[in-house]
Amino acid sequence: MYKFLLLITVSVVGLLSAGAAFVEETGKSLPQTGPPALISGLQIQTPLEFCGEPVPLENQEIRERFEKEILITLGDRPQIILWLKRSRRYLPIIENMLARHNMPDDLKYVALAESALRPHVGSTAGAIGFWQFMRATGRTYGLRIDSYMDERRNIYKSTNAAIDYFKNLYADLQSWTLAAAAFNMGEEGLKSEILVQDTTDFYQLYLPLETQRYVFRIISAKLVMSDPERYGFQLTDEELYPPLQFDRIKIECTQKTPIRVIARAAETYFKRIKDLNPDIRGYYLEKGVHEILIPQGAASGFKTRFEEAFNAWLEVSDKQIYVVKSGDNLFLIAEQYRVPLPALLIWNSLNPRDHIHPGDRLIIYSSESAPGKDQSGKRPITDPDR
């Protein structure tokens, strides 16, 4: 035990001596490694503000609320790294849209605090997407939300909706801080509290605890993202996720069309189409005209390839029709044709609770006849992103 302690002491002394020698030789202090102390995150050198509105940190109770949120934010370092890595992919889109509408740039941090810039994230209350719109609010501001499409997951359309919502909130409340609080708890609830408590000062309103914390979470995100190096985050340009790169096309579907057919025409994979278009739900585009994103460079020749892929799918589909008979059920049909039941449901846009009836027509693909495969069973296309 004493020998072990002696070794530790010798090692520490050696390190200190090496450090002293480095300082003496170079005249510089040793470079710091690791994150700075959390206490330094509480030291705000300039006046703090949100959308140009000051945060009264001279009030000790307000400072305490802020310090709690900045410490919680800094305590989740993996999350901040992901914020930074995703920022180049999505924040420039939001920044440009805010600037075009003469809106405060700080509002971009609302999306960061709401969703961490993840399109599919949802809350237990039912809020979904980049800006965490509830279904009713999203529809009020023009977002399509149904079984085929959920535009709360679309960065462009949901940001447009958020801008319109914030414009209305600010016109009503005359404060961006109150607008952010209303974005979180609903404008009617906030206006009721303002009326009952007889104050329009957000920092003096007694609101639901989540809303009391909300603005400070946004401000904490702003501080870290505005100066990540100060908080110990030094990511190189190569370490950031690349910006979105795509071609935007219009496509006319004369009937419900599988996304895999579109992926084949775009010379990519189903997953790539879904990743570029997170607002598309399920496995099909419904009949009609759609504007979608495909991999950059794939727009050239897409129309011709789509017609070929669509016609090939129609030809195969026509040969793979099963007419339901009396006594049939989905499980028995899947077992008879040796296909997974989930695949049978997907091919026919069904769910396990749906009933089938004699005379119904089901599409059933065998592994040998599935569209988009050659005789080896492999898709004869390449994906430049893989």
pLDDT digits (tens, 9 = 90+) for 235-294: 999 999 999 999 999 999 999 899 999 999 999 999 999 999 999 998 999 999 999 999
CB-based burial label for 7 (10 Å; 0-12, 13-18, 19+): exposed
Name all domains of the chain by residue range, CATH numbers in brackets: 41-239 (1.10.530.10), 245-320 (no CATH)
Between 265 and 313, the more confident residue is 265
pLDDT value of position 18: 46
| Mean pLDDT across the chain | 85
pLDDT value of position 45: 66
d(CA 344, CA 346): 6
pLDDT value of position 362: 84
Give the mean pLDDT of 149-157.
97
pLDDT value of position 144: 97
pLDDT value of position 368: 44
Which residues, other chains included, contact 118 with Cβ-Cβ below 8 Å and sequence gap of 6+? 86, 130
Is the pLDDT score of 372 beyond 90?
no
pLDDT value of position 40: 65
- Of all residues in the chain, the percent with pLDDT exceeding 90 is 66
Joined together, the tokens standing for residue 314 give 């129609």
d(CA 121, CA 111): 12
pLDDT value of position 87: 95
pLDDT value of position 350: 84
Give the mean pLDDT of 216-238.
94
pLDDT value of position 37: 57
Q: Whole-prediction pTM value?
A: 0.77
pLDDT value of position 145: 97
pLDDT value of position 340: 87
Joined together, the tokens standing for residue 203 give 């920092």
Phi/psi-derived region of residue 182, left when phi > 0, alpha when psi is between -120 and 50, beta in every other case = alpha
Confidence of residue 369 (pLDDT cuts 50, 70, 90): very low
Stated length of the chain: 386
Which residues, other chains included, contact 281 with Cβ-Cβ below 8 Å and sequence gap of 6+? 147, 148, 149, 150
Between 273 and 7, the more confident residue is 273
Between 359 and 186, the more confident residue is 186
pLDDT value of position 375: 36
pLDDT value of position 366: 63
Confidence of residue 354 (pLDDT cuts 50, 70, 90): confident
Task: Give, for 295, the enclosing helix (H) or strand (E).
Answer: strand 288-295
Bridge partners, 248 (sequence order):
293
Is the pLDDT score of 32 beyond 80?
no
The helix/strand/coil state of 318 is helix
Bridge partners, 294 (sequence order):
247
Least confident range of 21-30, 136-145, 175-184, 290-299: 21-30
Confidence of residue 323 (pLDDT cuts 50, 70, 90): confident
pLDDT value of position 106: 98
Residue identified by tokens 């419904």 is 286
Give the mean pLDDT of 36-56.
79
pLDDT value of position 34: 57
Instruction: Give me the helices (H) in the chain, please.
Output: 2-26, 60-75, 77-100, 108-115, 135-140, 155-173, 176-185, 187-197, 209-226, 259-265, 270-276, 302-318, 330-336, 341-347
d(CA 260, CA 266): 10
The helix/strand/coil state of 140 is helix
